[in-house]
Amino acid sequence: MSRFEILRFALRGLAANKLRSFLTTLGILIGVAAVILLVAFGEGASRSIQQNIQQLGSNTLTVSASFAGGGPGGFAGGRGGRGGGPRTQARQLTLDDARALTDRAQAPSVRSVSPVVTANGTAAVYEGTSHTVSQLVGTYPSYFEATNKVVEKGAYFVNDDVVAARKVMVVGRTVADELFGAADPVGRQVTVSGVPFTVVGVLREAGSSGMQDADDVAIVPLPAVQQSLTGFGPLGSIIVQATGAGTTDAAQDEVTAILDQRHGIAPGGVADYRILNQAALQETVSSTIGVFTALLGAVAAISLLVGGIGITNIMLVTVTERTREIGIRKAIGAPRSAILGQFLTEATVLSLAGGLAGVLVALAGSRFPVAGIQPVVVPSSIALALGVSVGIGLFFGGYPANRAAKLRPIQALRHE
């Protein structure tokens, strides 16, 4: 009997019970698609989180004030008594702190220091159009590099603008769209709290990171925002960029030493500031993502297992209820190889059709973002899902068929 003949027999066998063939295929399809989609979703989530962290900047430390170590009424004058004495009050971060950090001798691992003041929810007006900018940042030009903010159109502001406290502004994509619509924002004047700012650049779109729109931002020179909005009070934070990926920990130690000294904190004492290390954060999040991916993988493995049991069940039932048919075929002279070939081909066709359809469904499904996360299909998950379900289909289609084909015809014929 030729292979073509066996294939024809198998197809006829499948066509003879269309509903059962369809349900088997569907079971395999769902199993395969579920595994691929779950893994793709996990991968997509992990990539999106990593991207969000990278958006925060590379090799940076964020120093911010902390009241944990301070005494009562921690709002002390920033530039007050430096030096020693037992600390009773927490001190704010000051521009002097920031300047101290730029000391090459004491902090060789620091590449740049950007003092930051932030005004939240500031209204900006352009020709009658008003938009509340969720983050108005006053800083130095080094801030752009440290936080991976790239100007797409126009220019950055420069150190001269800071020294001269020029009222210039770099806006995020959301601000540009809200205020100017389709018009080119560069060169136009925006009024913030009655003070006119000239837009010099527009940032490249960063995308939303979590709940916050990272593009709803405006960046201006530090003195400009202090003069017009926040006053010359304490800094919100200081962004420190290390010289390289390997020096962030060294930079953190140096920053700690300088600030401890300036704020009069004894070794082992509770600091009145916090340092957020980007690299450490990334490491923590990566390991969290690892757990997350493992969890999704476990869910995927279970769905594959359940799908596999479904395939096993249908294949066993199919062969068992056709044992009599196998008996008839043997009685009229079918060799075992022909019977086994037919059932194996049936199982292969079902598994492959279901598996490939499952891959297609998964590929189609992965084009749609779920909860803001774009799934990323992992090729090895396709191979795994397809391999396991086809393997299960072949084994549990082939093994009982082989057992039935080995029976004497009369035993198979008497089977009910």
Partner 1 sequence: MSVPVLSVRDLSKVYGEGDARVHALRGVSLTVERGDYVAIMGASGSGKSTLMNILGCLDVPSSGRYLIEGTDVGSLDERRLAVLRNRKIGFVFQSFNLIPRMSALANVELPMAYGGVGAAERRARALAALERVGLADRVRHEPNELSGGQQQRVAVARALVTAPSLLLADEPTGNLDTASTRDVLGIFDELNVSGRTIVIITHEDDVAERAKRVVRLVDGRIVDDRRQAPVEGAPPRARTPEVPA
DSSP class of residue 114 equals E
Q: Is 333 in the site for partner 1 (CB under 8 A)?
A: yes
Q: Which residue of 328, 360, 364, 383 would you call a contact of partner 1, by CB under 8 A?
A: 328
Q: Enumerate residues 6+ apart whose C-beta is below 8 A from 165.
A: 221, 223, 224, 227
Residues 10-29 that bind partner 1 (CB under 8 A): 12, 16-17
380 vs 416, beta carbon nearer partner 1: 416
CB of 413 vs partner 1, minimal distance in Å: 7
DSSP class of residue 232 equals S
Left if phi > 0, otherwise alpha if psi is -120 to 50, otherwise beta: which for 127? left
d(CA 98, CA 79): 12
102 vs 402, beta carbon nearer partner 1: 402
Residues 369-408 that bind partner 1 (CB under 8 A): 408
160 within 8 A of 147, measured Cβ to Cβ: no
Inter-CA distances, 38 with 34, 135, 366, Å: 6, 36, 10
Q: Is 317 in the site for partner 1 (CB under 8 A)?
A: no
289 within 8 A of 49, measured Cβ to Cβ: yes
* Region near partner 1 per CB under 8 A, out of 143-151, 167-175, 210-218, 328-336: 328-336
Buried b (16+ CB within 10 A) or exposed e, 22-35: eebbebbbbbbbbb
Q: Is 409 in the site for partner 1 (CB under 8 A)?
A: yes
59 within 8 A of 278, measured Cβ to Cβ: yes
What share of residues in the chain are helix, strand, coil (percent, to 5)? 55, 20, 30
What are the structure tokens assigned to 39, written together? 């893994």
Q: Which residue of 46, 330, 349, 386 would you call a contact of partner 1, by CB under 8 A?
A: 330
Q: Which residue of 153, 261, 325, 363 would you call a contact of partner 1, by CB under 8 A?
A: 325
Residues 197-226 that bind partner 1 (CB under 8 A): none
d(CA 139, CA 162): 8
* Helix (H) or strand (E) segment spanning residue 346: helix 336-365
CB of 412 vs partner 1, minimal distance in Å: 9
Q: Is 5 in the site for partner 1 (CB under 8 A)?
A: yes
CB of 332 vs partner 1, minimal distance in Å: 4
129 vs 337, beta carbon nearer partner 1: 337
Binding mask 256-285 for partner 1 (x = CB under 8 A): ------------------------------
Q: Is 7 in the site for partner 1 (CB under 8 A)?
A: no
34 vs 334, beta carbon nearer partner 1: 334
d(CA 163, CA 140): 10
Beta strands in 325-371 (DSSP E): none
CB of 407 vs partner 1, minimal distance in Å: 10
Pairing of strands 195-203, 168-171: parallel
24 vs 142, beta carbon nearer partner 1: 24
Q: Is 78 in the site for partner 1 (CB under 8 A)?
A: no
13 vs 172, beta carbon nearer partner 1: 13
Q: Taking each helix axis as running N to C, give the angle between helix 323-331 and helix 278-321, from 0 to 180 degrees, rounded to the nearest 10.
A: 50
* Region near partner 1 per CB under 8 A, out of 4-12, 19-27, 105-113, 227-235: 4-12
CB of 311 vs partner 1, minimal distance in Å: 23
- Which has the closest alpha carbon to 281: 377, 370, 209? 209
* Region near partner 1 per CB under 8 A, out of 40-48, 169-177, 275-283, 322-330: 322-330
d(CA 270, CA 273): 9
Binding mask 335-374 for partner 1 (x = CB under 8 A): xxxx------------------------------------
Q: Enumerate residues 6+ apart whose C-beta is below 8 A from 252.
A: 61, 275, 277
* Region near partner 1 per CB under 8 A, out of 9-17, 66-74, 195-203, 299-307: 9-17
Q: How many amino acids of this chain bind partner 1 (CB under 8 A)?
A: 23
Binding interface with partner 1 (CB under 8 A) = 1, 5, 9, 12, 16-17, 325, 327-338, 408-410, 413
